[in-house]
Each structure stands twice: as structure tokens, then as C-alpha cells.
Amino acid sequence: MAALPLARLFHTVRHLRMEQIAYQLYYHLGKPIVIRRALLPVANVSRLRWGRPWAAPLVGARSHRQLGTFEFLGESGQVRSPADWNTGEKSKLWLYNLHYLDDLNAADADNRLEQQTWLIERWINDNPPLTGNGWEPYPLSLRLVNLVKWCARQPRVPARWLDSMARQAQALAALEERHIQANHLFANGKALTFVGAFLAAAPGTGWLERGLRILDREVKAQFLHDGGHFELSPMYHATLLWDLCDLVNLAERSGLAPLTERADEWRAVVERGLVWLAYMCHPDGDISFFNDAALGIAPKPQQIQAYAAALGCGVGKVPGDPLSCAFLVETGYIVVSLAQGGKALLDVAEVGPEYQPGHAHADTLSFELSLFGQRVLVNSGTSRYGQDGERHRQRGTAAHNTVEIDGENSSEVWSGFRVARRARPGVPEVFPARAVPGGRLLVRCTHDGYRRLRGAPIHLRQWEFADDSLRVTDSLSGRFRRAVSRFYLHPDVLVAGDQELLLQGHHKVHWCVSGGQAKLVPSTWHPGFGVSLPSHCIEILFESSELTVGFFWE
């Protein structure tokens, strides 16, 4: 039963911090004040000299393909006139990527000086202050960091570039995303720290101090004790780990005392975060797909590890004995290691931070499974942002390896980045293999996301792992009209015969069902923005209140 619009809004807003509400009002009602602050003059801008020039891995894919031609999210576009920076023919996410100027620090960037000079000059000429997408605080933040990194590698920087960077920094300081918070506010803090470490300006700007104040608060709040980022997305976790590596690098390159004093603390967070990331990757080395997650956005885990190692961060060994598990308590994921390149990742987590679950999916008690080093069961992935039907579908329960009841989502995801009433998982029970007859590892957990429905059903899921099998048992208490359990197959998994799956390397997986009617249906998987790959889903309709699905391999 979907909440009425006002009730849905209430259940969304009631979780917000007072700071978020206050800044929402400030940015709307006090808009003239915000604009005046953003446009305050900045004088006496000059470049600060660092102990060493900036150097860091250039790992991003080249997006400025030819002069004025760009490719983002699998889609090409051109800048031929000032209007092209904000054209209505492209999605907002595509335009955001255009304004990031990521190509300044992409692969082979330093060998394309003419092209990069054109890009910076063109952006400055075509984007006057506070006009268009490029002056929104998130693209402002990412662009400022890219500009600092590029300019800090150059022996000389034109004065108008420095003036433009100062103007952008002044605007960002007036537009900090305290109404959104989470990774957006972190990005604001990083950008102000970078530009404050690179530019000297008239007294009173205080960009470095503002940035560090944000980071001092947000690093502690956003990275949890188990090492994971509190938005519970492996993609955003990887992005912010790279950001932290950049901050450690900035401390070393600039030699500024306020940064070097914090560098050891940042290194410790990076080291914990690398362990969490290793747990949450599949045997193929890439991230799992929980909440908003896609490949090709954050640097690859191996690239982050190499960057961190170059900065003196240690990487702890992640244990992976067969039929063992690790419970990442604060973030709420259970990682089960299986023999011969097998791994299962179980989602027993909250939807994310109470006050900002914008990147959450309704995926409670979903899981992903790899066998023999390859992905077998996968969640939906993320191919787009925005507010359309496909974005809503990909966030929904029906796009994940879990149970949907009466056609509703376990958490009320709505709009593009909103959540009203949320599923609350119970405390999971974990029974190690040595404690269970037959050497099986059991994990059980419940969630109450459907209690808002008329029959107040509760979902209990049990995973039972053995050396050569997995049984998933779903039990539903309370009344319901219709329940469906889904298991999405990776596109490389072939449907070979009657309840038989064929993996690469001629490995076979058989599956069977007790307590439900199963069918294979065509589906899609979305491992990247703008990407939709054909696949299959095992869809099972409950015949009673309990359903068991078994997977058996050689």
C-alpha cells in the first residue's frame, strides 16, 4: 500500500537533520544573500608554491575525444557554442560530467596541452558566474579539484585562470551543500581544501580553513568503524577512498602544516577502507552492486590500492577460508567465502544514513553470488540517475535478488533520490560451519519493510551454504496476497537446460524450487551508466508462506 503523497513526504522529511532543513530554507528564502556572498570580489590572487609539484595516477578514461567533442556515459556530444554547456538535448548527469573537466586528469592528459588549454579557456569564456549547471556546487567542487591538479603540474598558469578559480571557490563557499550533506558535502570540503592550498587571496577568504572544518567532521561521520562509507554503496565508497588518497597526497605535495597534521589520520581511514572494499569486491576484482553502483565511475579497486600504497598506506590481508564469513557490522554486510573462487555478499543493512539515503535501493536481504571466479547472481546495477520510470525500477525491490510482496518495495524509494518508510533489518544470526551438523554455514535475518501493508508481513531469509550448494529459504509471516522471489543471472550465465545453468569453463549449476512456481523471464543488467545488457531472471511465485530455492554445483 503506497503512502499518500503528503504521508510519503512526511516519512521522508522526518529523518532530516535540522541543519538540512535550515539550509534548505536559507538557500530558497535567502537567495539574494547567497548570491551576494557568492559574488563577493576576490583580490590579490596568486599561486602558492608547494614543496613538490602535483603528481598522481591518471586513471580516468579520456572523455575529450577531439577538440570540442566529448563522450560521457556512452554518449557523444559537442561544444560548439556557449549554449552547448547547458543544452536541453542532454541529460543533467551528462552535462554535469561535461562541467567536471575530468579530462584534465584523465589518461594521457599531459600529452594534450593544446586540447586542455582550449578546454579551460572555453569553459571560462562560456560560463559566466552563477549561470548554468557548471555553477551548481557539486560540479563546482569536482571541477575545482581538477583545475588545481592540472595547474599544479604546470610551471606557469595564466592570471585569468587563477582569478576564475578564485571566483569559483568563492561561489562554492557560499553554496556548500549542507542541505544535502553526505558525499556532496565531503566533495565541497575537499574542493575548498584543494583550492585553499593552491591559491593565496585577500584576507578573509579562508577556503582552506572552511574545507578542513568540513572534512574534520565528515571523515569521522562518513567512514564507519568497519571501514565502510555510510552511504553503503561500494561505488561511492571507492570514490571517497580515492578522495582521501588525494588529500594525503596534497598534504605531502604542498607541505602545508594544517594538512600534514591530518595526514596520518587520513591514512588510517584509507587503510580500513581498503579492507572493506576488498571484502565487497567479487573474485573478478570489481565492486558488488548494492544501492547505487556501477562500473566506470570510481577508480578500480586495484588502482586505489596502488595509489594508497604509493602514499605509504598499508593494505591488510583479507581472510577467505572456504565456508567462512565476515560480518561488517556497522555497514551491515555479511561476506561468505566459498571454495574455488566462490563468494557471496549478503545485504542485512539499513538503507543508509537516516538523513541522507539518496543512493539507497530497496534491496534489503538481497545478495550476490560468484562461483568459480565469475558472477552468477547479480543485483540490478545503475544505468541512470534522474526521476524517470527506469530509474525508479532499478531502485525497486523487484530489480534485486530478494522478495517482493504485493507488488510493493521493501523501502519506499521515490523520485530519483528519496526514501520514505524504510525496511529495518533485525539482528542477523550467523552459525559457523563448525557449529552446524554437516559442516554448513547458516545466516538468518528478518526485515520489517512490509509491516506497513494491510497484513503486516515480516520477511525472514535464511542462507545455508555448503561446499557445493546454497539453499535460500524465505519465510513470510502475516497476511499477503502475492509474493515473488527473484534471482537475477549475470549475462554470461547461460540457461543450458531444465533448471541447469552453464558457466564459463564448463561449470554447471543446477537449481530447484520447493514451495513455489518458477519461470525464467528475460531481463537486463546495468553494470554502467548508459549500459543495459540482456540477461535472465529466475522468478518464483510463492505457493504458501515458505519457499526454498537450492543451487548446486560440482
For residue range 232-277, what is the model confidence (pLDDT) as tens digits? 999 999 999 999 999 999 999 999 999 999 999 999 999 999 999 9
Write down the pLDDT at residue 205. 80
How many other C-beta atoms can be found within 10 angstroms of the C-beta atom of residue 374?
Answer: 18
Write down the pLDDT at residue 204. 66
Per residue in 103-127, pLDDT (tens digit) is 999 999 999 999 999 999 999 999 9
In b/e form, how buried is each residue of 7-31, taking b as 16+ CB within 10 angstroms?
A: ebeebbeeebeeebeebeeebeeee
Separation of alpha carbons 30 and 36, rounded Å:
10
Taken as a whole, the chain contains a residue count of 554
Q: What angle do CA 64, 254, 106 make, to 5 degrees?
A: 15
Write down the pLDDT at residue 497. 80
Question: Which of the residues in the chain have pLDDT under 70?
Answer: 1-4, 203-204, 435
Separation of alpha carbons 37 and 40, rounded Å:
5
Write down the pLDDT at residue 4. 62
Write down the pLDDT at residue 320. 81
pTM greater than 0.85: yes
With the C-alpha atoms ordered 38, 39, 42, 45, is the resulting torsion angle positive or negative?
Answer: positive
Instruction: Supply the Cα-derived Rg of the chain in whole angstroms.
Output: 25
Separation of alpha carbons 506 and 524, rounded Å:
23
Write down the pLDDT at residue 315. 80
With the C-alpha atoms ordered 155, 161, 163, 169, is the resulting torsion angle positive or negative?
Answer: negative
Of 493, 414, 408, 498, the residue nearest 459 (C-alpha): 408
Q: Go through the domains of the chain in sequence order and give each one's CATH number.
A: 324-553 (2.70.98.70)
Of 421, 377, 183, 384, the residue nearest 292 (C-alpha): 384
Of 208, 367, 347, 339, the residue nearest 283 (C-alpha): 339
Q: What angle do CA 134, 139, 145 make, to 5 degrees?
A: 120
